[in-house]
């Protein structure tokens, strides 16, 4: 083949990709927002991108100063006393946080065996707890979609190491009893862990450290606008209160009279949780994002994220079933209850959205909501984009009434039609061969 044919082939393939530069990602609980190009420029500076991980500290002073500064900024934003930047993603941060809790409780001769997790939690919460050797106790949400402190008190015993709570939760609702819950847990000697995946609704406005939280992780690849998707890369820094400082992973960035260095001299540390120092390029991007926006900009981003989510919530309310009437924060959750009357499911709605040019939202999560459609617009989308998405959803709801067969066989305009998803997961075709070779 000629060069031109090859170029056209691969350019045509590239146009089939979804990207934040070309499409709107309404993915709830994932915060797929735009990554400003200034972040990329900063991460590509030769002093950062070409730094060798085994270079001595005296040749890495700029990188170490950035890490030290990012720790200070994340501590201020979250209300925690100390931050470790090493965990590679949110789930890795959860595991690290639980290891810190276990190390602290073990040091006082009280290791404990159980973790309390809400029924609306991210699936990584019980997974991380189990991986860390704990038994999981589930506590139910109430009809308003939040956890009640009385329900926590019923299961909180002196064998519970911690409660993991997401705030705002996966329903997009603020856990208004979080401080009361923290008091219940602390009264029995347990700790409070905050899943910070949804910090995009709080940054610059409220600090988890002021809510009674002892440990939290922060998804930099969500809240602080770094490349997200395709399995990584990510970063899940963990913040702790002062009494847990001694257990943080090593090495740690230390500021001294002669500059910055890496210290391993921390006898109570849980050790290394990551080779070298985390996903450094992601940390550079997050640092750039924070200093670009400043405190006022971070607050405005949160308020816009909440405004956009509530705008979509009001536009789609009545067209799609809204299981919880509480005002949402960064995301809202609908269901397919109205469309089920016409034999149309959440999956059909998601598939049909592809024909309208939109990536589907998160579906069938959280598990406590049957037929869930979870939508998170983030702060980076314009009202015009939100209206176009809302109009598409309303149009699909109309089709569900008038011509449901169109939805049942969607998508129609994509290169590949509807797949057998179970078969695709179990027996994927990873290699294509021309018909004459089969």
The string of pLDDT tens digits covering residues 90-133 is 999 999 999 999 999 999 999 999 999 999 999 999 999 999 99
Domain with residue 107: its CATH number is 3.40.640.10
Rounded to the nearest integer, the mean pLDDT of the chain is 94
Whether residue 318 is found in the same domain as residue 252: no
Q: Tell me whether residue 97 is in a domain.
A: yes
Q: Could you tell me which residues come within 8 angstroms of residue 91 by beta carbon, excluding any fewer than 6 positions away?
A: 124, 127, 128, 236
Whether residue 265 is found in the same domain as residue 377: no
Q: Average pLDDT for residues 155-170, to the nearest whole number?
A: 97
Whether residue 200 is found in the same domain as residue 266: yes
- Confidence class for position 232, pLDDT limits 50, 70, 90: low
Last residue of a domain, one of 271, 292, 313: 292
Q: Tell me whether residue 13 is in a domain.
A: yes
Q: How far apart are CA 165 and CA 154, in angstroms?
A: 16
pLDDT at 235 over 90: yes
Q: How far apart are CA 24 and CA 153, in angstroms?
A: 42
Beta bridge partners of 253: 262
- Centre a 10 Å sphere on the Cβ of residue 25 and count the other Cβ atoms it contains: 23
Concatenated DSSP letters for 212-278?
T-SEEEE-HHHHT-----TT------EEE-GGGGGGS-SSEEEEETTEEEEE---TT----SSSTTS
pLDDT at 430 over 90: no
Whether residue 274 is found in the same domain as residue 342: no
Q: Tell me whether residue 423 is in a domain.
A: no
Whether residue 310 is found in the same domain as residue 217: no
Q: Tell me whether residue 30 is in a domain.
A: yes
- Identify the pLDDT of residue 170: 94
Q: Tell me whether residue 428 is in a domain.
A: no
350-376 core/surface letters (b: 16 or more CB in 10 A; e: else): bbbbbbbebbbbbbbbbebbebbbbbb
* 167-223 residue pLDDT tens: 999 999 999 999 999 999 999 999 999 999 999 999 999 999 999 999 999 999 889
Q: Average pLDDT for residues 257-264, to the nearest whole number?
A: 94
- Identify the pLDDT of residue 132: 95
Whether residue 59 is found in the same domain as residue 29: no
Strands 191-196 and 160-166: parallel
- Centre a 10 Å sphere on the Cβ of residue 276 and count the other Cβ atoms it contains: 12
Whether residue 147 is found in the same domain as residue 267: yes
* 56-87 residue pLDDT tens: 999 999 999 999 999 999 999 999 999 999 99
Q: Tell me whether residue 106 is in a domain.
A: yes
Q: How far is CA 418 from CA 17, 358, 406, in A?
A: 17, 16, 12
Whether residue 302 is found in the same domain as residue 278: no
- Identify the pLDDT of residue 65: 97
- Identify the pLDDT of residue 435: 59
Q: Tell me whether residue 331 is in a domain.
A: yes
Contact 196, 218 (CB under 8 A): yes
Q: Tell me whether residue 277 is in a domain.
A: yes
Q: Please indicate whether residue 393 or residue 31 has the higher confidence score (pLDDT).
A: 393
Last residue of a domain, one of 259, 292, 325: 292
Alpha helices, H only, 132-204: 149-155, 178-187
> What is the domain range of residue 314?
7-34+295-410
* 277-306 residue pLDDT tens: 888 999 999 999 999 999 999 999 999 999
Torsion from C-alpha of 94, 272, 78, 257, nearest 10 degrees: 180
Q: Average pLDDT for residues 337-365, to the nearest whole number?
A: 96
Q: Which residue has the tokens 């200093």?
A: 291
Whether residue 194 is found in the same domain as residue 205: yes
Q: Average pLDDT for residues 260-289, to the nearest whole number?
A: 93
Name the residue among 191, 142, 133 with its Cα closest to residue 169.
142
Helix (H) or strand (E) holding 136: strand 135-139
- Identify the pLDDT of residue 30: 80
Last residue of a domain, one of 260, 292, 324: 292
Name the residue among 32, 12, 19 with its Cα closest to residue 331.
32
- Identify the pLDDT of residue 438: 47
Whether residue 167 is found in the same domain as residue 55: yes
Q: Could you tell me which residues come within 8 angstroms of residue 184 by beta carbon, excluding any fewer than 6 positions away?
A: 149, 152, 153, 156
Predicted model pTM: 0.93
- Identify the pLDDT of residue 81: 98
Contact 198, 29 (CB under 8 A): yes
C-alpha atoms less than 13 angstroms from C-alpha of 38 in its C-beta half-sphere: 8
Contact 386, 380 (CB under 8 A): no
Residue 317: DSSP 8-state:
B
Name the residue among 360, 352, 361 with its Cα closest to residue 414.
352
- Identify the pLDDT of residue 230: 60
Whether residue 286 is found in the same domain as residue 386: no
Whether residue 23 is found in the same domain as residue 135: no
Domain with residue 325: its CATH number is 3.90.1150.10
Q: In the chain, how many domains are there? A: 2
């Amino acid at each position: 083949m000629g060069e031109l044919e090859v170029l056209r082939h691969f350019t045509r393939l590239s146009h089939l990709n979804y990207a934040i530069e070309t499409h709107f990602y309404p993915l709830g609980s994932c915060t797929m927002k735009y990554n400003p190009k200034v972040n990329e420029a900063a991460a590509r500076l030769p002093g950062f991108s070409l730094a060798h991980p085994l270079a001595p500290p005296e040749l890495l002073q700029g990188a170490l100063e950035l890490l030290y500064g990012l720790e200070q900024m994340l501590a201020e934003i979250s209300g925690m006393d100390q931050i470790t930047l090493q965990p590679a993603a949110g789930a890795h941060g959860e595991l690290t946080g639980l290891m810190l809790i276990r190390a602290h409780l073990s040091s006082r001769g009280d290791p404990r065996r159980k973790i309390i997790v809400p029924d609306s939690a991210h699936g990584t919460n019980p997974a991380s707890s189990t991986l860390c050797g704990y038994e999981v106790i589930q506590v139910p949400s109430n009809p308003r979609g939040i956890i009640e402190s009385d329900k926590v008190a019923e299961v909180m015993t002196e064998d519970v190491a911690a409660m993991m709570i997401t705030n705002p939760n996966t329903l997009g609702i603020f856990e208004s009893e979080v401080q009361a819950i923290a008091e219940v847990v602390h009264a029995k000697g347990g700790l409070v862990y905050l899943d910070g995946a949804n910090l995009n609704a709080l940054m610059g406005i409220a600090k988890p450290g002021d809510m009674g939280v002892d440990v939290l992780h922060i998804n930099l690849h969500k809240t602080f606008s770094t490349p997200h998707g395709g399995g990584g890369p990510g970063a899940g820094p963990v913040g702790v209160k002062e009494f847990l400082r001694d257990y943080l992973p090593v090495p740690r960035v230390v500021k001294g009279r002669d500059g910055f260095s890496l210290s391993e001299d921390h006898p109570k540390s849980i050790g290394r949780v990551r080779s070298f120092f985390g996903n450094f390029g992601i940390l550079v991007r997050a640092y750039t994002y924070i200093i670009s926006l400043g405190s006022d900009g971070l607050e405005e981003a949160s308020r816009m994220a909440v405004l956009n989510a509530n705008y979509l919530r009001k536009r789609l309310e009545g067209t799609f079933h809204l299981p919880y009437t509480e005002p949402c924060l960064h995301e809202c959750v609908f269901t397919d209850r109205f469309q089920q009357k016409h034999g149309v499911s959440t999956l059909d709605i998601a598939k049909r959205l592809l024909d309208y040019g939109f990536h589907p939202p998160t579906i069938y999560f959280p598990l406590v909501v049957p037929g869930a459609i979870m939508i998170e617009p983030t702060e980076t989308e314009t009202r015009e984009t939100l209206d176009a998405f809302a109009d598409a959803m309303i149009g699909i709801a109309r089709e569900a009434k008038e011509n449901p067969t169109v939805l049942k066989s969607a998508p129609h305009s994509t290169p590949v039609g509807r797949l057998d998803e179970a078969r695709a997961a179990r027996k994927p075709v990873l290699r294509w061969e021309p018909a004459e070779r089969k």
